[in-house]
Amino acid sequence: MLFVIILRLVQRGQKVLPLRPRLSNPHNREKHWTVIENAELMSATEPISPRPSCWANQSNVSEFLLLWLSRQPQQQQHLLFGLFLSMYLVTVLGNLLIILAISTDSHLHTPMYFFLSNLSFVDVCFSSTTIPKMLTNHILESQSISVPGCLTQLYFFIVFGDMDNFLLAVMSYDRFMAVCHPLHYTTKMTHQLCALLVVGSWVTANLNALLHTLLTAQLSFCADNTIPHFFCDLLSLLKLSCSDTRFNEMMVLIEGALIMMTPFVFILISYICITCAVLRVPSTKGKWKAFSTCGSHLAVVSLFYGTIIAVYLNPASSHSAEKDTAATVMYTVVTPMLNPFIYSLRNKDMKRVLRKLIDRKTGSSW
């Protein structure tokens, strides 16, 4: 505990001198420690009190208020509720249909469709982490979410966001092997390797989410408990905290950037190699056939990363709560909703299986 206190003081940029024990009572052998923050104050005998700016207005915050939807005009609230409900239902039904089609057709039991089924499952979970709570609050005319519920939502939001990121990188590796090394594709992309890539992604995503959630759980929150968002966003929680959040912010910048940038760079390198391989194909028809195998994945990657880059690489002066919320809606709701359409419309095998599945259902209903 003493080592932790020193570390926190060092993080705040204070000068820490050696600690000296003193006894407050000869009959009470309990040691009291005094931290000297300045060389001129070495004769001081009174312990330094905690930060008054934090604890003076400290309140027992048991819940947070998600205010984004309630801040909209009344007519827009009903419109946004219907819009989010429609998009959520399309997301769930579309992605579950993709999973059902892949699981029921043996011709689709390949690495590419194995990764696609995992991506569809993650997309359903990603949207389900935030949208149902917002819709439920609107129906119940409530804005609150408990602190444990907020931390749980934060944890799963990071997990499924990271999984989207990792799976897109894994799928780019699959396309790289299919285009650049077609003769070795079946021997390299084994069931064991595919399972290992997915399990490794899940483990890394959960560890990353656990780190940020535990760090956030250590923070103190004062009287202000309003979040101008439709879910518990990590940066919004850091802004609300009355604790020193510099270590949390440093972890978000360093470790979070590493988690996001590594898969993105891997995808870029994969597609550079794919483009070079396609350009070496002599016939135009062969080039189109080779590149068409990556078209759906490239469209999803462009949609996912394009939204994030378009917002978060803008100048800080142009940022606003509304813009950040719109960007979050794009990659948490719109992108998962569009993924099934992108993969089904641009993929002949998927269209064939979906058509067969729909015909079977409609035929059995008659």
- Residues 217-230 have pLDDT tens digits of 998 888 788 888 88
pTM here is 0.78
Residue 131: how many CB atoms within 10 A of its CB?
23
Whether residue 81 sits in one domain with residue 8: no
Q: Is residue 58 part of a domain?
A: no
pLDDT band at 361 (very low <50, low <70, confident <90, very high): low
Whether residue 322 sits in one domain with residue 194: yes
Length of the chain measured in residues = 366
Contact 215, 247 (CB under 8 A): yes
> What mean pLDDT do residues 122-150 have?
90
Tokens of 149: 């519920």
Closest alpha carbon to 215 in 250, 166, 261:
250
pLDDT band at 117 (very low <50, low <70, confident <90, very high): very high
Whether residue 124 sits in one domain with residue 12: no
Whether residue 193 sits in one domain with residue 72: yes
CA quadruple 325, 326, 328, 329: dihedral, nearest 10:
120
The pLDDT value recorded for residue 22 is 41
Range of the domain at 9: 2-48
Instruction: Give 284-305 pLDDT, tens digit per residue.
Output: 777 787 777 788 888 888 888 8
The pLDDT value recorded for residue 331 is 80
pLDDT band at 321 (very low <50, low <70, confident <90, very high): low
Q: Is residue 60 part of a domain?
A: no
Whether residue 224 sits in one domain with residue 176: yes
In the chain, how many domains are there?
A: 2
Helices H, strands E: what count in the chain? 15, 5
pLDDT at 242 over 50: yes
Whether residue 73 sits in one domain with residue 24: no
The pLDDT value recorded for residue 311 is 58
> What CATH number is given to the structural domain containing 314?
1.20.1070.10
Whether residue 187 sits in one domain with residue 290: yes
